[in-house]
Structure 1
């Protein structure tokens, strides 16, 4: 299987690259700063730059069986409503978490169409669910809600072409974003997510699942 994982310089993305490589898949990881690691192939990519995303497509002309849209930012953590959440953070967050997903999918559509049974996995968050609205983190929550909506609509659009799309909550993970008090390790999250990706099909396209296989309310 050939896979592309965006936002793979560290955390869940890097662990997904390692896990895919360990089981013999051909995988390309991307990262904004051009960093490389000891597994997989690597490509520098800023998902907010249309030219850079187009260059990724040129650099990876082979069919893509699995595209994992993992690149994401959480810039408004701990902001307070009285003086936080400036407009530039809204723009930057949506550029990565929403527009970046769409641009990546759009650029790699030829490669996905060339792979029978191709799949797109969008790493979302339970914080994007309408059922979880405790306040705070307004920008991140709104961006993940938009990413969830985008994934559901991509699933409908691409169903006739045989491309399945799933949206996944990776769990509360011990990463720089999740913090050391989080529930699960990066390895646990990645292993669960890979099992979910393997199980994704046209019958389940548009699903919103947790890393351990539970259906998450939209």
Structure 2
């Protein structure tokens, strides 16, 4: 199996790439610099740039991809204040990463998925995008992750006739730069759990919204 993981230069993405590359071919993407990972094939991708997506598609033309993990993410509105914060350019940047970037990744790599016998797409959303969780704050992050969840559900409908399964996942509160040191689980735990969920993804449960440890999450 050959997975491709966007935003693989840090956090959960880096741990997933490291784990997959230890087992066989694995592709990681990053906007710029990236760490050395034994066995990994690094490709440049800025998920917010349509031309970068086209360049990646050209670079990977004819190569089979079995699993796309749309992992690239940013959390720019942490600590923003309702009265004075959340500027329009911040909305644009986060939606470009979490929503448009996911769509363009899938759109441009569909030919690669078509070469797989069991093609899958995993979209990293968040429980913060669920309608059942609305404690306030982080408006852009929550809205963009909710949109990613909705996008994944609709892609699951359209891609099922093509034999492509789509899952949406909450990665947990993870001890990364984004999650902070006080988070509940390590990147190793999150990556192992997510990889198990990706392995269990099929056309039978396409469109699912799962937690990193396999629980069904309400939409």
The match for 1:63 is: 64
Superposed CA offset, 1:167-207 (max 9, x none)? 00000000000000000000000000000000000000000
Question: Aligned equivalents of 1:158 and 1:207: distance in 2?
Answer: 14
Query: Is the Cα contact below 8 Å between 1:34 and 1:44 reproduced in 2?
Result: no
The match for 2:203 is: 202
CA RMSD of aligned residues (A): 0.8
Superposed CA offset, 1:95-146 (max 9, x none)? 0010000000000000001111100000110000000001100000000000
The match for 1:111 is: 112
The match for 1:186 is: 187
Question: Aligned equivalents of 1:186 and 1:199: distance in 2?
Answer: 20
Report the TM-score, using the length of structure 1 for normalisation.
0.98
Question: Aligned equivalents of 2:106 and 2:90: distance in 1?
Answer: 23
The match for 2:26 is: 27
Is 24-33 or 65-74 further displaced after alignment?
24-33
Question: Aligned equivalents of 1:59 and 1:121: distance in 2?
Answer: 22
Question: Aligned equivalents of 1:43 and 1:110: distance in 2?
Answer: 17
Runs of 4+ more than 6 Å apart: none
> CA shift at 1:25, angstroms?
2.5
Show the 5 A alignment for 1:86-105.
Answer: 86-105=87-106
Query: Is the Cα contact below 8 Å between 1:35 and 1:44 reproduced in 2?
Result: no
Question: Aligned equivalents of 1:148 and 1:57: distance in 2?
Answer: 24
Question: Aligned equivalents of 1:29 and 1:48: distance in 2?
Answer: 16
Establish whether residue 14 from structure 1 lines up as the match of residue 17 from structure 2.
no
Superposed CA offset, 1:19-67 (max 9, x none)? 1012x23111001114242330101110111111111111112111000
SS at structure 2 position matched to 1:83: coil
Structure 2 stretches lacking a partner, 5+ long: none
Between the two proteins, the alignment pairs up a number of residues equal to 217
Question: Aligned equivalents of 2:153 and 2:46: distance in 1?
Answer: 24
Query: Is the Cα contact below 8 Å between 1:34 and 1:45 reproduced in 2?
Result: no
Establish whether residue 172 from structure 1 lines up as the match of residue 173 from structure 2.
yes
Show the 5 A alignment for 1:29-44.
Answer: 29-39=28-38, 40-44=40-44
The match for 2:153 is: 152
Question: Aligned equivalents of 1:25 and 1:3: distance in 2?
Answer: 9
